[in-house]
Amino acid sequence: MLAAALRRHWSIDVDSLMYLPKGGGSFHWRATTDASSYFVTVDDLDTKPWLWHERDGTFLGVKAAYDVAWMLLNREGLELVLAPIASDDRSTAVRLDDRYSIAVFPFVEGEAGNWGDPVSADERDSILRELARLHGVEVKRRFAIPRRHHQVPERAVLIDALENLRQPWKGGALAEPARRALAEHATTVHETLDRFDALAAPLNRSTRPLVLTHGEPHPGNLLWTSGGLRLVDWDTVAFAEPERDVWMLDLAPGALDAYEDATGHAVDGDLVEAYRLRWTLSDIAWLTRTFRDDDPVPEWAESNWASYVGLLAGGMAEPYVRQRA
C-alpha cells in the first residue's frame, strides 16, 4: 500500500521500505530508491486530539500544519524546518485510507536528540535564535492553523477520572494503583487545575499579538546536522504567544536572554507558568488514561510510574532543554 501510494502520488518507485519504530501517534519508514532515501510518515488520524475530534477534520489539520512547514522552508527560507516534500499535485499529505494519511520527507543524516536530553548553553542559545526567526515570520494567510487557546485538551479525561475514584477501575494491572494514587492526591490535582484556570481566563481574553509557534521544540524533535539544527514534527504548529515555545527551553535566570535580545520581547512569567501547568495537567491526564485503561509493558510502566506520582504530588513539568551539568 505504501509503495503504491509513493508511486501514485510522488512518482517514487521504491526499492525497499524499512520500518523505523520511532515516535508516537505516527508510523515511519525509510524508503530507498537507486538515487535517494526518503522518510515516510503515516499519521494515525485517531491519535491527534489537539487537531480535531474526528478523522476528516484531523486530516485537514495535519495537512494545514504540513503546508505551513513547507511554506516556512520554501518561501521563507527557514532552514530550521524539516518540511515535507510536496506530491505531484502539490499536496503535503495524502489520505491513505479512512484512518491514515501519508507524507514524505527528505531522509536527513544527523544526530537525533532524545526526549529530556540536556543541551549546552550554546546549543540552547542557537535554538532560541532560530525560534526568534520563526516567531518573526509574517504569515500572510492563515493556512487553517488554529489559535492555541489556554486550555487542557485532555481535561475531560482527567475530570472523568477524578469523578470516578470511589469505584474500582477495571483496566490493566496498574489501574487500581493509579486510582489509589490519584485519590491520594486529588486535592492537589484540583488545586493545580484551579491555578491553571485562574491564569488561563485573562490570557484567553488578551489581545496581545500572537506568533507562529512550533509547540514542542524539545530535544526529541531536534536533529543536529552538518548543515545546522533542524526541527521536526510540525503537526503541533499553532498561533500562540512566544512563551508556548520558549518555556521548555530553560527557566534559569538569564537562560532566555538570547531570545529576548533577538526579539526585544520580554518573556512573561504568567504565560510561562500557564504553559508549564497545561503541560503538567496533560501529562497527568495522559498517564491516568494509560494506567487506567491499558496494560502498558512493564519497562514503560516502571519508567513512567515515578513521574506520574511526582506530578500528582504537585510536581511540575520541567523544561525540556537543560544545560549539561
* Whether residue 124 is found in the same domain as residue 251: yes
Instruction: Write the single-letter amino acid at 41.
Output: T
Are 83 and 119 contained in the same domain?
Answer: no
Q: Is the pLDDT of residue 321 over 60?
A: no
Give the whole-angstrom CA distance, residue 81 versus residue 77.
9
Q: Give the pLDDT band (50/70/90) at residue 40.
A: very high
Indicate if 169 and 126 belong to the same structural domain.
Answer: yes
Last residue of a domain, one of 107, 139, 170: 107
38 and 90 both lie in a single domain: yes
Whether residue 145 sits in one domain with residue 84: no
* Tens-place pLDDT, residues 63-108: 999 999 999 999 999 999 999 999 999 999 999 999 999 999 999 9
Euclidean distance between CA atoms 163 and 183, whole angstroms: 10
pLDDT of 216: 92
User: Does the pLDDT of residue 323 top 70, yes or no?
Assistant: no
Which phi-psi region, left, alpha or beta, contains residue 30 (left: φ > 0; alpha: ψ -120 to 50)? beta
240 shares a domain with 133 = yes
Residue 142: predicted pLDDT? 62
pTM of the model: 0.90
What is the reported pLDDT for 325? 42
Burial code (b: 16+ CB inside 10 Å, e: under 16) for 125-156 equals bbbbbbbbbbbeeeeeeebebbebebebbbbe
Q: Say if residue 48 is in the same domain as residue 72.
A: yes
Burial of 87 (0-12, 13-18, 19+ CB in 10 A): buried
Mean local confidence (pLDDT), 248-264? 88
**pLDDT of 324 above 50:** no
Least-confidence region, from 11-20, 28-37, 91-100, 134-143: 134-143
Closest CA to 222 of 111, 304, 62: 111
135 shares its domain with 85:
no
- Whether the per-residue pLDDT at 253 is higher than 90: the answer is no
Assign residue 213 the CATH number of its domain: 3.90.1200.10
Cα–Cα distance measured from residue 143 to residue 132, given in angstroms and rounded to the nearest whole number: 21
Q: Which residues of 230-241 are buried (b: 16+ CB within 10 A; e: fewer)?
A: bbbbbbbbbbbb
Distance (Å) of CA 315 to CA 121, 145, 189, 236:
25, 32, 10, 24
Q: How many structural domains does the chain have? A: 2
pLDDT at 320 over 70: no
Whether residues 126 and 142 share a domain: the answer is yes
- Is 178:169 a contact under the CB 8 Å cutoff? yes
pLDDT digits (tens, 9 = 90+) for 187-205: 999 999 999 999 999 999 9
DSSP designation for 81: B
Query: Is there a single domain that holds both residue 49 and residue 142?
Result: no
Query: Are 49 and 123 within one domain?
Result: no
Of the three residues 78, 107, 136, the one that is the final residue of a domain is: 107
What is residue 122's predicted lDDT score, i.e. its pLDDT? 86
pLDDT at residue 318 greater than cutoff 70:
yes
CATH of residue 22's domain is: 3.30.200.20
CA distances from 174 to 75, 183, 284, 293 (A): 49, 14, 15, 9
Identify whether the C-beta of residue 231 lies closer than 8 Å to the C-beta of residue 82: yes
Give the model confidence (pLDDT) of 119-175 as tens digits.
Answer: 788 888 999 999 999 999 987 666 778 888 899 988 999 999 999 999 999 888 899
Residue scoring higher pLDDT (318 or 255): 255
Which of the 8 DSSP states describes residue 147?
Answer: B
17 and 118 co-located in one domain? no
What is the average pLDDT value for the chain, to the nearest integer? 91
Distance from chain centroid for Cα 284: 16
Q: Is the pLDDT confidence value at 223 over 90?
A: yes
> Which of 82, 107, 132 is the C-terminal boundary of a domain?
107
Give the separation between CA 55 and CA 262, rounded to whole angstroms.
Answer: 39
Q: Which domain holds residue 40?
A: 1-107
CB of 277 within 8 A of CB of 246? no
